Chain A
Amino acid sequence: MTTPTPPAKTGSPATAPVLEIRDLSVEFATDSGTVRAVDHVDLTVEKGGILGLVGESGSGKSVTALCILGLIGSRRAKITSGEVRFQGEDLLTKTERQMRDVRGGRIGLVSQNALSALDPSFRIGDQLIEVIRLHQHVDKATAARIALDSLDIVALPDAARRMRSYPHELSGGQRQRVVIAIALACRPQLLIADEPTTALDATVQQQILDLLLDINKNLGTSMLMVTHDFGVVAHMCTTVAVMRKGRIVEQGEAGEIISFPRQPYTQGLMNAVPRLRLSETERAVPRSQRRLPVFVEESAFAERADYATV
């Protein structure tokens, strides 16, 4: 297969990356055959950096992200090759029991659907306290204090009173702040944000992205930002990896790739960000090309001819 461009180093080259994914492949058994959703993927998240993992729906970016946490929730999925090295340890060889300490403790997840990501039957404070006590083994009063600190970090207004609120009493943006607070409560070294702004209003999206950026700056939390939106990448990512049909087609420093995308697919994605005026030559990725092939050996670059005239 084609070797993607090695990721450009940001920050101090001496520090080891927080997360290194090497040669990761995931296959799904479907009714019409085996589909390789993640195909020999290499990714690196530098310490303190933000990696944007970009691709359209079905490109395998969310599956890749869930693999890190060992949460591909389907009995039909199988990791067929590779390793996920987090702070030097291969997460794929860990037991379920060991992974539970990693999840929420050392790696936090901010998931796609802010509106439904919190348990509707429990108070915000209790949900935070449950996670904190699980990982930090502190008494309830201490956990409540840590919970309040977390809510302060995500700038939830009136946090002390909100601890006693139920999720339905909060707006979408506030709920996503709480989700981030839960993910951050145990000060993980890595935060995986899986399209964290999808369900939110445009104005709130910006606030949440700025909040994540602040967290990255102030707490030094490294991030893996899964998104389909190059606007998000331009706003906050240090490095970016473009994914298509389960493969990384382009990878490098964010500014560089946005300015000089080498792959036509990357240009397609960038053009897909809606703008008020579109030039004649710009067009989105054709829908017919989005579906994953049922196990055919095919280059992820095969359709670059489509863009030859762009």
Chain B
Amino acid sequence: MTALITRRVVSTLLVLLGVSVVVFLLVQLVPGDPARVILGQNATPAAIAEVRQALGLDKPIVVQFMDYLGGLLRGDLGTSLIVNSPVIDIVLPRFMNTLILAGAALIICVGVGVPLGLLAAKKQYSVFDRASMFISMTGASVPVYWMALLLIGFFGLTLGWFPTSGMYDSREPGGLPDLLLHLVLPAVAAALVPLAVIARMTRSVTLEVLEQDYVRTLRASGLPESTILWRHALRNALPQIVTVIGLQVGYLLGGVIFVEVVFGWPGLGGQLYTSISQRDMPTIQAGVLFIAVVFVAVNLLADISVGVLDPRSRKQAVA
């Protein structure tokens, strides 16, 4: 088990190194000179050269990368080109808000998607199965921002059940209950597509498990169908479900960016959107890096749990 975890952690570190390279190259590949962004259209060449020197942009690219990497390791993500404060101070609070939103969406995905898939598999070809799979297919086909607008229109404006924007009520912020109320619509909007994928995958994996010989042994032992489904089938389908969930977190984080913009959620997505339109490269880099790190970390976690969940791979890892 320790060997498995060590191997996964090492490969994750390598992936993170790759991520930092790609994030660093963002600045090099995107047209436009950061110095010109700071100084504006009418800057003199001398002023631009001065700023380039201050930013280290005149050094060879390898040196720039080493500087960047060194900064990362010290927790220094650079300084924003627009607001002239450390990027980390801008990005970190936003990142926390994004984690709240993504976490809530993930809870919905897993809490609804997995049981839905299990029940659909149990009642294969029933009305419930067909209806839930049709709805989840439709859900997966609708773009997140469009779904967000529909939710705002119906639950926010027509019914008036939920607030449509922000994280807290701006006039009388009400702590956790207020936050939860504001969380409902964006979390649902962000959750829909991954939820549909998770439900469909859970269904097909469970169907496969229910075909296995040992399920017949369980039935022949007199176990009730509910125990077979929720204990044995779920337990055997879990490694694959967890893998899918890990991958869907990536999709979730991508969707969250749109959702944050539509719902005015003060998260990383909204910040990235603003920073991209302002060409604030260090902030964009930091935002992308944070999202990539979360994705990689979640999948590391998923990999390790799959190892823990499947007794067979546990054995191999030790051997």
Contact = CB atoms under 8 A, between A and B. Distances in A.
Interface residues of B, number: 20
Contacts of B232: 119, 121-122
Contacts of B219: 69, 71, 73, 103
Interface in A267-281: none
Interface in B196-236: 212-214, 216-224, 232, 235-236
Contact of B222 (A101, A113, A116): A101
B224 A122 contact: no
A159 to B, nearest CB: 19
Contact of B214 (A103, A118, A131, A166): A118
Contacts of A71: 216, 219-220
A169 B312 CA distance: 9
Contacts of A168: 311-312, 315
A179 B217 contact: yes
Interface centre among B214, B216, B219, B221 (most CB of A within 10 A): B221
A106 B211 CA distance: 25
Contacts of B222: 100-105, 131, 134-135
Given A117-B213, A120-B214, A104 B236 contact: no
Contacts, number: 80
Contacts of B221: 103-104, 109, 130-131, 134, 182-183
A24 to B, nearest CB: 19
Contacts of A104: 220-223
Nearest to A75: B125
A108 interface: yes
Interface string A129-161: 011001100000000000000000000000000
A135 B218 CA distance: 13
B224 A69 contact: no
Interface string B230-245: 0010011000000000
B214 A116 contact: yes
B310 interface: yes
A102 B217 CA distance: 14
A134 B235 contact: no
A111 interface: yes
B212 A121 contact: no
Contacts of B315: 166, 168-169
Interface string A14-30: 00000000000000000
Contacts of A101: 222
Interface string A61-104: 00000000101010000000000000000000000000011111
Given A119-B236, A121-B311, A168-B315, A100 B214 contact: no
Interface centre among B220, B236, B312 (most CB of A within 10 A): B220
Contact of B213 (A100, A113, A122): A113
B224 A182 contact: no
Contact of B216 (A73, A100, A105, A130): A73
Nearest to A185: B221
Contact of B236 (A105, A120, A183): A120
A121 B219 CA distance: 16
Contacts of B309: 121
Interface in B140-160: none
A120 B213 contact: no
A72 to B, nearest CB: 11
Nearest to A116: B213
Interface in B114-173: none
Q: Which 4 A-B pairs have the closest CB atoms?
A: A104-B222, A109-B220, A104-B221, A103-B222
7 contacts: A109-B221, A113-B213, A117-B213, A119-B217, A120-B236, A122-B232, A134-B223
Given A71-B216, A71-B220, A118-B214, 6 more contacts: A111-B213, A117-B213, A119-B218, A131-B221, A131-B222, A134-B222
